[in-house]
Amino acid sequence: MLVVAGQELRDLWLGGRGLVLSFAFSLLMSLIAYLVATNRALNFLEHRETVNLALQVAIAVGALLALLAAADTVSGERERGTLESLLLTPVSRLAIAAGKLLAALSLWLGAFVIAIPYIWFLGRGVGLVRDALGIGVVVGTLLAVFLASFGFLISVFASSNRVSLSLSLLVLLALFVPTQLPTAAQQGWAGDLLLRANPITAGEHYVGKIVTDGHAWSQDASWLVSPLVAAVVFAAAALLVGARFTRLRGGATA
Amino acid sequence: MSAAIEAHGVEKRYGSLVAVEDLDFSAEAGEILGVLGPNGAGKTTAIRVLTTICAPTRGSFEVAGVPHTQSAEIRARIGVLPESAGYPERQTGEEYLRYHARLYGQSRAGARAVARSLLEEVRLGERSGSLISTYSRGMRQRLGIARALVNEPRVVFLDEPTLGLDPAGQRQVLGMVRRIADERGATVLLSTHLLAEVEETCSRVLILNRGRVVAQGTVSEVSRRAAAPRSGRICVAPDSVDAALSALAAVEGVAASVDGRRGLLVVTLARTESMNDAVGAIVHAGIPLLSSELEGARLSDAFLAMTGEA
């Protein structure tokens, strides 16, 4: 597994794709930091809200990068004709899947490291930085594991790389839709259930409670259930089901 | 000597499509077995099943003495050059081989040594540090063969290794195939649709058509066994043509006609031995025989007869 992960990491980072995506991410974070800092200076945003906003963007985009990398793993290799050579080695498909997932997750870790100075800059002076970074790494990692595993599964079964990337992005956008619903629609038992069941909205809601409202980590821990369950279930599915069905033709029975 | 590959009734279906059916054959250690067949005959599917990339729908097989149920064990003992193999464009040839050697359990230092040695062996030593994207097709095929050898395999599967290569490239690759068998003692299963490659390189041949084995044996055995109609050419003096036609008309199993060229007769034979009868009739009639040539006993005739490609 480590040999596969090592090579995947080299391909991702030394090949340039990881660096380009990280550079784009750092530009986005710079823009976000500038905008929220400006708004805070104009008293449009509270100090805590600026940190929350930047952190939520960092988590969402960092997890998105992991999703994109994972969605390319199997379907991309299949299209480039390199999958067969890998499957012909005695390395187990579980180890191949795990190695590829680890490499995809490195994009999230890279994004988080890039986000640290921005969060520090925005959160300094109110004793918020440590909590923000702590909750960011926990929620972000859970969401990144969930989305990367989901992307890997799509990649295994997709008939082409284009289908894999499109479908992954489509589902990700669908998961973000509830965050754009009017406040009234997010209230009541149905709205609450929708927000809690969706790992993205539940995770972001939890981050908001800690960072903006200053709640203790344990106070709203129930909001972490769906990100945690999604991460565990999808990672297990990627490693067991996905690995088993990693084959030359997407979705075909072999 | 134990068989390096043994297949018993192997079948592979994709839904209702039968890609390979009742595949029964064996290959001895150190031999080069050619697998011939027209496009869609099931050659690539057969190789994918035997290399454990696809599970058989029915039947069993052993490769390098390992039963098909132990796929990882088989993969550890074989080397494969898949048809239309892709290569990571941003890796160098040496990085590519080092990675694959590591996947077979080599240490970092061991992998480096294996990669360098194999690159020299396939004459890519000078380009070991170049990106694969800069390699020609022939160089990529040689790199693919080197990759198939990183684990010192006992059985090597090569699926259309000369496809798309110029004659010089084909010759280089076929030379490597012979060296794999001669110097490494590995069994080579060479899939191709080029008959000349098989005649030139292989000790035995397996002809597949529509997923089934239609012939197997040595090249000469398969050529003889084919029920292809035989033909021959008999050359006599131009003024003896009519007499020769009369003599041949009396021979059972021989039909003669005049070729466009002067003094040349084309004879169609019911069986190979009929050529002796035809020549005997000419000689017996006192007609000077200038030359005779038997045709129709080549692998190409057998292939065409057995695959219905004529």
Record: contact A90-B84, CB cut-off 8 A: no
Q: Domain B3-87+135-224 belongs to what topology?
A: Rossmann fold (3.40.50)
* Contacting A residues, span 77-136, partner chain B, CB-CB under 8 Å: 80-82, 84-92
Please report where in the chains the tokens 């058989």 appear, as a residue. B56
Among residues B164, B155, B163, B161, the alpha carbon closest in space to that of B143 is found at B161
What pLDDT, on a 0 to 100 scale, did the predictor assign at position A250? 58
Tokens of B310: 């004529």
Among residues A30, A198, A218, the alpha carbon closest in space to that of A135 is found at A218
3-state secondary structure chain B: CCEEEEEEEEEEEECCEEEEEEEEEEEECCCEEEEECCCCCCHHHHHHHHCCCCCCCEEEEEECCEECCCHHHHHHHEEEECCCCCCCCCCEHHHHHHHHHHHCCCCHHHHHHHHHHHHHHCCCHHHCCCEHHHCCHHHHHHHHHHHHCCCCCCEEEEECCCCCCCHHHHHHHHHHHHHHHHHHCCEEEEEECCHHHHHHHCCEEEEEECCEEEEEEEHHHHHHHCCCCEEEEEEECHHHHHHHHHHHHCCCCEEEEECCCCCEEEEEECCCCHHHHHHHHHHHCCCCEEEEEEECCCHHHHHHHHHCCC
Question: What is the nearest CA distance from A104 to chain B, expressed in angstroms?
Answer: 18
What are the E-state strand segments in chain A? none
Residue A87: list chain B partners with CB under 8 A: 53
Q: Taken in order B91, B97, B100, B105, is the CA torsion positive or negative? A: negative
Record: contact A248-B48, CB cut-off 8 A: yes
Q: Domain B230-307 belongs to what topology?
A: Alpha-Beta Plaits (3.30.70)
Residue A253: list chain B partners with CB under 8 A: 14-15
Record: contact B86-A3, CB cut-off 8 A: no
CA B258 to chain CA mean position, Å: 36
Rounded distance between C-alpha atoms, residue A155 and residue A163, angstroms: 8
Record: contact A247-B54, CB cut-off 8 A: yes
* Contacting A residues, span 213-242, partner chain B, CB-CB under 8 Å: none
Residue B78: list chain A partners with CB under 8 A: 88
Q: Is A7 on the interface with B (CB under 8 A)?
A: yes
Kindly list the averaged pLDDT for each block of 10 residues, start to end, along chain A of length 254.
Answer: 89 90 95 87 78 94 94 91 92 92 96 95 84 94 96 92 92 85 76 88 92 88 94 94 73 44
Residue A20: list chain B partners with CB under 8 A: none
Find the radius of gyration of the CA atoms of chain A: 19
Record: contact A3-B102, CB cut-off 8 A: yes
Q: Taken in order B103, B107, B112, B115, is the CA torsion positive or negative? A: negative
What is the pTM (predicted TM-score) of this model?
A: 0.81
What pLDDT, on a 0 to 100 scale, did the predictor assign at position B215? 86
Tens digits of residue pLDDT in B189-227: 999 888 888 888 898 999 998 889 988 888 877 877 665
Rounded distance between C-alpha atoms, residue A87 and residue B82, angstroms: 11
Question: What is the nearest CA distance from A202 to chain B, expressed in angstroms?
Answer: 40
Where chain B has pLDDT below 50, the residues are: 1, 310
Q: Which long-range contacts (CB under 8 A, 24 or more apart) does A159-167 make?
A: A159/A249, A159/A250, A159/A251, A160/A75, A160/A79, A160/A250, A161/A72, A161/A75, A161/A76, A161/A78, A161/A79, A163/A75, A163/A250, A164/A71, A164/A72, A164/A74, A164/A75, A164/A76, A164/A250, A165/A68, A165/A71, A165/A72, A167/A71
Among residues B199, B169, B174, the alpha carbon closest in space to that of B188 is found at B174
Q: Which of A83, A85, A247 to mutate to test the interface with B (most CBs of B within 10 A)?
A: A85
Record: contact B104-A84, CB cut-off 8 A: no
Name B291's bridge partners: B235
DSSP 8-class letter at A254: -
Q: Is the ipTM of this complex over 0.90?
A: no
What pLDDT, on a 0 to 100 scale, did the predictor assign at position A44? 67
What pLDDT, on a 0 to 100 scale, did the predictor assign at position A251? 52
The secondary structure of A116-149 as a DSSP string is HHHHHHHHTTTT-HHHHHHHHHHHHHHHHHHHHH
- Phi, psi at A50, each rounded to 5°: -65, -40
For chains A and B, count residue pairs whose Cβ atoms are closer than 8 Å. Answer: 62
Name B204's bridge partners: B33, B218
Rounded distance between C-alpha atoms, residue B115 and residue B82, angstroms: 19
Tokens of A207: 């981050």
Q: Are B148 and B81 in contact (CB under 8 A)?
A: yes
Break chain B into its structural domains and give their ranges: 3-87+135-224, 230-307
What pLDDT, on a 0 to 100 scale, did the predictor assign at position B310? 45
CA A125 to chain CA mean position, Å: 29
A125 burial class (0-12, 13-18, 19+ CB within 10 angstroms)? exposed
Rounded distance between C-alpha atoms, residue B84 and residue B141, angstroms: 9
What pLDDT, on a 0 to 100 scale, did the predictor assign at position A48? 86
